[in-house]
Chain A
Amino acid sequence: MTAVAQHKTVLDVEKVRKDFPILSRKVNGKPLVYFDNAASSQKPQSVIDATNKYYSFENANIHRGVHTLSQEATSAYEVVREKVRAFINADKSHEIIFTKGTTDSINLVAFSIGRTNVNEGDEVLISAMEHHSNIVPWQMVCEEKKATLKVIPINDDGELMMDEFRKLLSKKTKIVAVTHISNSLGTVNPVKEIIAAAHEKGIPVLIDGAQAIHHTTVDVKELDCDFYAFSAHKMYGPTGVGVLYGKEELLNAIPPYQGGGDMIKTVTFEKTTYNELPHKFEAGTPNIAGGIAFGAAIDYINSLGFENISAYEHELTEYALQELKTVPGIKFIGNAKERASVISFLLDNIHPYDAGVILDKMGIAVRTGHHCTQPLMDRFRIPGTVRASFAFYNTKEEVDVLVKGLHKVIDMFK
């Protein structure tokens, strides 16, 4: 007993919950149980305050004015770039490109690499568990360049088939783009191994980190990935802000994605020379308030510490799996050995939509549907799943509420 107790995490969940104002609200008359963190996480007061403070006292455009406000805003924004660099252990802060989010980051790479490196007959390699935002941009590039999109298959537990992956790497492969953690199955992919195997053949790798960045320490140098994409809104930060990490030499080698202000050195009607990294990829006025609030989100995560976050989320996920197993007729979709705090399931032949509507009435927010991974749902021949995804502010008591809710759902539909 004491031995177990000693291994319990040091995260004070009750205290942490108080940092998130939304968690005390009611939905349909019931205390909110927010289990849709994989779609977007909630925001701590410090992030909300940072946005507020920026607009109240600091607002000005960045990288342009000589006046004090503009310079202050510029440094506040650039401080965040440095925070992100340190957060993912990148070499240089100009390897951090601010974008609108993961989708935007992937599109940037797809279209820039697509324009220069992908030609007729080439191949782009993704996996069967990708989010639509790591499928469609590549499909568009392939269509335009008459290249082929190849897909790494998965097994019935929802794990990548690594032997098949190795077979799919060829001279024609121009880039590999895979997700670090599956948003539908919770599978943690062996990205380090994937990157090493691709690099042996000289192929660059993009990792979609949207579901990983807030759960575990990501070290881009250790991974040796060429690109890493993620969104602030899934890491307790604001919407409309994201990051593309890219290795300097690759970012220098590919053309800009969008044209406009900030990304240029000189413009004449004959020719424009592009600005240096990171500005080359940051056309137009960015989401400055969002960027600054993103910095507050990183501070918040750092203040809790990934060691504590990961340990607690792991404990909570194990508890949820154990409790959910007692629900009659439950079938888990995705049983990977390495998994994150995302649990997808079906209840006998109850449609996920039906379950979602009833759970919502009880104040429980889960996601139902295909989770923007339609090809993956087709692979399992299901219309979708019910997905519960946890953050460090969720509790075992909330898991119990979900389990009770599911019993009610079964009752109502039997």
Chain B
Amino acid sequence: MATIKEIEETIVEEFGYYDDWMGKYEYIIELGKSLPLVDEKYKTEENLIKGCQSRVWLYAELEGDKIIYTADSDAIITKGIIGLLIRVLSHQTPDDIINTNLSFIDRIGLKEHLSPTRSNGLVSMIKQMKLYALALKTKML
């Protein structure tokens, strides 16, 4: 299984094929459409990350010592972006997730989505993913 850093590199490489914003966003939209969806029964208020504009449901569970994330959103771009996060962080160990410092979002030119004023809550998504990792880690002990 590839490490977080390795997957980040692959994504950066993939996005390198697009030299304009349109291509990048079309790719994100494609990713959004193919996101592994949260099981309906987990689409609860509890699993809702409250961004201002689009709603995001995030669920995490343990498979052995790895964390599996699933998510959904009512906005496709948001879904595409969380899909990228899942690709990087899913199937990793809690410790790796907690300690990672993601660089790919900035590097693929989606930094604007990271600014705290942007109301799609990408920052809260990453935070929530790490919180899940922390919670599930204590479960493993």
- Asked if A and B are interacting partners, one says yes
Q: Is the interface of A mostly helix, strand, loop or mixed?
A: helix
For the complex, what is the distance from the CA of A361 to the CA of B29, rounded to whole Å? 15
Asked if A351 and B119 sit within 8 Å, CB to CB, the answer is: no
Asked if A361 and B21 sit within 8 Å, CB to CB, the answer is: yes
B124 contacts partner chain A, Cβ-Cβ < 8 Å: no
B78 contacts partner chain A, Cβ-Cβ < 8 Å: yes
Asked if B54 and A351 sit within 8 Å, CB to CB, the answer is: yes
Q: Which of B22, B25, B29, B54 contacts A353 (CB 8 A)?
A: B54
For the complex, what is the distance from the CA of A384 to the CA of B22, rounded to whole Å? 24
- Report B-chain residues with C-beta under 8 Å of the C-beta of A368: 53
Q: Which of B21, B26, B74, B120 contacts A383 (CB 8 A)?
A: B74
- Report B-chain residues with C-beta under 8 Å of the C-beta of A350: 76
Q: Which of B22, B26, B52, B75 contacts A351 (CB 8 A)?
A: B75
Asked if B29 and A369 sit within 8 Å, CB to CB, the answer is: no
Contact with B along A321-356 (1 / 0, CB 8 A): 000000000000000000000000000001111101
A68 contacts partner chain B, Cβ-Cβ < 8 Å: no
Asked if B74 and A357 sit within 8 Å, CB to CB, the answer is: no
- Report A-chain residues with C-beta under 8 Å of the C-beta of B76: 350-351, 354, 413
Contact with B along A387-414 (1 / 0, CB 8 A): 0000000000000000000000000110
For the complex, what is the distance from the CA of A267 to the CA of B24, rounded to whole Å? 65
Asked if B77 and A28 sit within 8 Å, CB to CB, the answer is: no
For the complex, what is the distance from the CA of A351 to the CA of B74, rounded to whole Å? 7
For the complex, what is the distance from the CA of A134 to the CA of B140, rounded to whole Å? 50
B43 contacts partner chain A, Cβ-Cβ < 8 Å: no
Min CB distance B21 to A, Å, is 5
Q: Which of B25, B26, B53 contacts A384 (CB 8 A)?
A: B53
Q: Which of B26, B55, B75, B119 contacts A354 (CB 8 A)?
A: B75
Asked if A357 and B77 sit within 8 Å, CB to CB, the answer is: yes
A369 in contact with B21 given A412-B26, A412-B29 (CB within 8 Å) = no
- Report A-chain residues with C-beta under 8 Å of the C-beta of B77: 353-354, 357
- Report B-chain residues with C-beta under 8 Å of the C-beta of A413: 29, 76
Identify the closest chain B residue to A358 (Cβ): B25
Number of A interface residues, CB 8 Å?
A: 16
For the complex, what is the distance from the CA of A369 to the CA of B52, rounded to whole Å? 8
Asked if B53 and A352 sit within 8 Å, CB to CB, the answer is: yes
Min CB distance A221 to B, Å, is 40
Identify the closest chain A residue to B78 (Cβ): A353
Min CB distance A346 to B, Å, is 12
For the complex, what is the distance from the CA of A28 to the CA of B29, rounded to whole Å? 20
Q: Name which of B25, B29, B53, B74 has the most chain A CB atoms within 10 A of its CB.
A: B53
- Report A-chain residues with C-beta under 8 Å of the C-beta of B55: 383
Min CB distance A408 to B, Å, is 8
Identify the closest chain B residue to A29 (Cβ): B21
- Report A-chain residues with C-beta under 8 Å of the C-beta of B78: 351, 353-354
Asked if B74 and A412 sit within 8 Å, CB to CB, the answer is: no
Asked if A357 and B119 sit within 8 Å, CB to CB, the answer is: no
CB contacts under 8 Å to A, within B35-87, are 52-55, 74-78
Min CB distance A404 to B, Å, is 14
Min CB distance A369 to B, Å, is 5
Asked if B21 and A28 sit within 8 Å, CB to CB, the answer is: yes
Min CB distance B35 to A, Å, is 14
Min CB distance B118 to A, Å, is 9
Asked if B25 and A357 sit within 8 Å, CB to CB, the answer is: yes
- Report A-chain residues with C-beta under 8 Å of the C-beta of B29: 412-413
Identify the closest chain B residue to A350 (Cβ): B76
Asked if B53 and A412 sit within 8 Å, CB to CB, the answer is: no
For the complex, what is the distance from the CA of A28 to the CA of B25, rounded to whole Å? 14
For the complex, what is the distance from the CA of A361 to the CA of B113, rounded to whole Å? 13
Contact with B along A80-114 (1 / 0, CB 8 A): 00000000000000000000000000000000000
Interface, chain A (partner B; CB < 8 A): 28, 350-354, 356-358, 361, 368-369, 383-384, 412-413
Which 9 residue pairs across A and B have the least CB separation, nearest first? A351-B75, A353-B75, A353-B53, A353-B54, A369-B53, A354-B75, A361-B21, A354-B77, A357-B77
Please give 17 more A-B residue pairs, beta carbons under 8 A apart, in addition to A28-B21, A351-B78: A350-B76, A351-B76, A353-B53, A353-B77, A353-B78, A354-B75, A354-B76, A357-B25, A357-B77, A358-B25, A361-B25, A369-B119, A383-B53, A383-B55, A383-B74, A384-B53, A412-B22
Question: Could you pull out 15 A-B pairs where Cβ atoms are within 8 angstroms?
Answer: A28-B21, A351-B78, A353-B53, A353-B54, A353-B75, A353-B78, A357-B25, A357-B77, A368-B53, A369-B53, A369-B119, A383-B74, A412-B22, A412-B25, A412-B26
